[in-house]
Chain A
């Protein structure tokens, strides 16, 4: 009871359970992955398990063609998702920031995909993309864009575009929500004085809105880039990384090594590379968010 009355202990008592949970189940496993990456570990082949030094890494960098292609596809994936989501999210936020009837309803509807899981998103879009009875084939045929049905998610040239579209659907709200929040902090007088000076819609957008949103855009883009890099469940459900590894990102490759091939050692080595890549992003985020400066 004495310790409880001593105020010095309070904050530590309060954060202790959180620290235990985070260190025990997020940090400790991440640290563990470094040890695991130096081993051959496959639960289905216990006779071959054991330390092999840097063999996994040597194999990744010299003999694994899929690894290099996953880096390129990850980059393509992150870039296309972030750029398209940012652009459409910004437009959506600008639209929803105006006052009009049913704005509340429009906002609720527009934000909804944010809450939908990758698996459900993938399922919904897979039904729409279906080769034989998909509504997308039907609509595109009606407007004369295509002449015969396409197998969107199974065709190597359209599979990537298909998963990008489905994830775009799920990602626009994130930018719309965060940018809308930032827009509401812009003082209205700025726009009024811009109007007095004869500035039109575009002028006020480029000289007031955009500069004001700059910091938010940088931070949300970095955060989203990390999240999209890590995104697996949608790809896993829609294409499984196929066809011909055309949609195999690095995290998807790791998940495949773990879930489909039981190659825990090799998958861990890939994970280590992923963690190092992500650390760069996290450092950038911390730098831009000015962490530690205020406190």
Chain B
């Protein structure tokens, strides 16, 4: 009996208590943002603080979507993120394939290039890249952002992709070549179908990265109609009179796609980050 009690005590102390505390710390900001976004404007600042939105309302969502411009920001972010995904996907398949299937002169240099660019700091590129895009007349356009995000997202995803491709037996391609496929056809018909889970994971990581980026979007885009979601959120906080309900609703709007996609791929994350980022 005593032994059983001791076991429960240790389980509580070593597992459930710390787990609950950490999960609380992680979940509370999500809850509080949702809670705030569902409150009537007057209820947000009412004292004492209400821990449950009663009555709940969708006014803030309607307000931020229609009046503040989040429907437009959402579309801009979606277009930029999806274009980035497309570019990164194609380039990282090609680069990943080259790394895992060929040995060639300069391969080590290319690997080093990929690794080093993981350290290239965003804020440090702000000024030179802005000048470069200005000369190319790409500031104030979404294309400039798409190019920037693709360059930043490519190294990690190319390394990740090479890992996925290495996991596919080369014999499969050889068999296809015996059957009369050339290399490109073999890649297309044999490798890509097997690679689909890896492609999904890569796409989602790229999407999240492009969806979240802020500094370049802030620097490059000045027209409000071209804003992305993070810039829209920051713009609202720069205003003299902040509408906190609409701000919280805007955050929830920006969160939704990321949360949905992330819940779908988070199981790949443990393998992916473990293999890709850390071991190089």
| Docked pose: A138 CA to B45 CA in angstroms | 12
Interface size on B, residues (CB 8 A): 103
The answer to whether B214 touches A233, judged by C-beta atoms less than 8 angstroms apart, is yes
* Shortest distance from the beta carbon of A229 to any chain B beta carbon, whole Å: 7
A110 contacts across to B, CB distance below 8 A: 22-23, 26
* Shortest distance from the beta carbon of A205 to any chain B beta carbon, whole Å: 11
The answer to whether A254 touches B47, judged by C-beta atoms less than 8 angstroms apart, is no
The answer to whether A223 touches B280, judged by C-beta atoms less than 8 angstroms apart, is no
The answer to whether B119 touches A281, judged by C-beta atoms less than 8 angstroms apart, is yes
B240 contacts across to A, CB distance below 8 A: none
The answer to whether A116 touches B147, judged by C-beta atoms less than 8 angstroms apart, is no
B residues 114-152 in Cβ contact with A at 8 Å: 114-132, 147-148, 150-152
The answer to whether B108 touches A295, judged by C-beta atoms less than 8 angstroms apart, is yes
| Pick from A8, A106, A169, A178: contact of B278, CB under 8 Å | A178
The reply to whether the CB of B57 lies closer than 8 angstroms to some CB of chain A is no
The reply to whether the CB of B14 lies closer than 8 angstroms to some CB of chain A is yes
Residue of B nearest to A267 (CB): B127
Q: Total contacts A to B, CB within 8 angstroms? A: 283
Contact status of A116 and B98, CB under 8 A, knowing A95-B15, A127-B33: no
The reply to whether the CB of A66 lies closer than 8 angstroms to some CB of chain B is no
- Comparing A75-83, A118-126, A187-195, the segment that makes contact with chain B is A118-126
The reply to whether the CB of A150 lies closer than 8 angstroms to some CB of chain B is no
Residue of B nearest to A265 (CB): B127
B residues 209-245 in Cβ contact with A at 8 Å: 211-215, 218-219, 230, 233-234, 237, 244
The reply to whether the CB of B190 lies closer than 8 angstroms to some CB of chain A is no
The answer to whether B151 touches A95, judged by C-beta atoms less than 8 angstroms apart, is no
Residue of B nearest to A100 (CB): B15
B residues 243-280 in Cβ contact with A at 8 Å: 244, 247-248, 250-251, 254-255, 258-259, 261-263, 266-267, 269-271, 273-275, 277-280
| Pick from B122, B147, B158, B269: contact of A114, CB under 8 Å | B269
A145 contacts across to B, CB distance below 8 A: none
| Docked pose: A11 CA to B108 CA in angstroms | 13
The answer to whether B120 touches A124, judged by C-beta atoms less than 8 angstroms apart, is no
The answer to whether B49 touches A30, judged by C-beta atoms less than 8 angstroms apart, is no
The answer to whether A118 touches B150, judged by C-beta atoms less than 8 angstroms apart, is no
A220 contacts across to B, CB distance below 8 A: 278
A residues 196-251 in Cβ contact with B at 8 Å: 201, 216, 219-220, 223, 226, 229-230, 232-233, 236-237, 251
* Shortest distance from the beta carbon of A130 to any chain B beta carbon, whole Å: 8
| Pick from B30, B98, B154: contact of A21, CB under 8 Å | B154
Can you list 28 A-B contacts with CB-CB less than 8 angstroms, sorted by A residue number? Answer: A25-B151, A29-B128, A92-B22, A98-B15, A108-B263, A109-B26, A109-B27, A112-B262, A117-B214, A120-B254, A124-B251, A133-B47, A135-B51, A138-B49, A169-B26, A177-B269, A216-B278, A223-B278, A232-B122, A232-B123, A258-B127, A264-B131, A267-B126, A268-B128, A285-B119, A286-B112, A286-B115, A295-B111
Q: Which residues of B line the A interface, CB within 8 A?
A: 14-15, 18-19, 22-23, 25-30, 32-33, 36, 44-49, 51, 90-92, 94-95, 97-99, 102, 104, 106-108, 110-132, 147-148, 150-152, 154-155, 158, 183, 208, 211-215, 218-219, 230, 233-234, 237, 244, 247-248, 250-251, 254-255, 258-259, 261-263, 266-267, 269-271, 273-275, 277-280
Top 3 nearest A-B pairs by Cβ distance?
A181-B274, A117-B212, A29-B128
